[in-house]
Structure 1
């Protein structure tokens, strides 16, 4: 990782930079619906960002990660969704995303979270201990792209529903897009 990377909680002054980082990070991804910046804004507006961290290099925000509560159909509580996670393209593949994920997971454990789930690339998230969890699904997502990481050794069974902010298509909470 870049030696001058600082990982810290987001502040109100970071909102515009987070939006720019998120737009840039997902701009060329074909699998993206390019609504990630609206999701982050809607999570923030709903006060559903349980953990929201930025990565700074030389005082500039170059990365962001969000964690928000999820609902599990079996009634299990204290599980969270990871995402989106964004790093400016020119700073990718330098360990910044990894540092954001590791710090975010650590902070969730401090909040007594029981686990985290996400939709993402299999090769990337497995290195953090995320696994496909038979019996735990997110409707509309192929099982090979849906992952869970339990902090207490228990994997819930049923359907995961991410916060309604994940349906944001534009301007929710942003006000300027």
Structure 2
């Protein structure tokens, strides 16, 4: 009898030794949660099962993830994302933003690493021809590099306090 118990214990240990993520008894309750991989899970339990397989997976929020895989036109009107990547058009940028969550658009046109200058925080205002105020000449030159139509202009009068 002892031998049978030892044998069964060893057999069970072998059966579960390679299975680091045993399946959970998740309910069929549909309370969707959005995972950081852009996938919608039917509830937190099924997300937890997936987290066992992928330790970097987290819950972004309760509710379904947006459908980010929509078709985009083939026209090339590039925009530069805050991640330094050039996207073929605004639709492609919005798809990437949908997938990444916190992506911003820097400017229209291809990303130009020469435009990304390190500027001081000095405040010596410079204005462009559209009346926008830049904190200093370096910041203005970076903006001008991104948008070739900018020229230096007059700053609006600011009333003292």
Q: What TM-score do the two structures reach when normalised by structure 1?
A: 0.19
Q: Please tell me whether Structure 1 or Structure 2 has the larger radius of gyration of its CA atoms.
A: 2
More strand by share: 1
Q: Point out which structure has higher relative CO (alpha carbons under 8 A, 6+ apart).
A: 1
Q: What TM-score do the two structures reach when normalised by structure 2?
A: 0.20
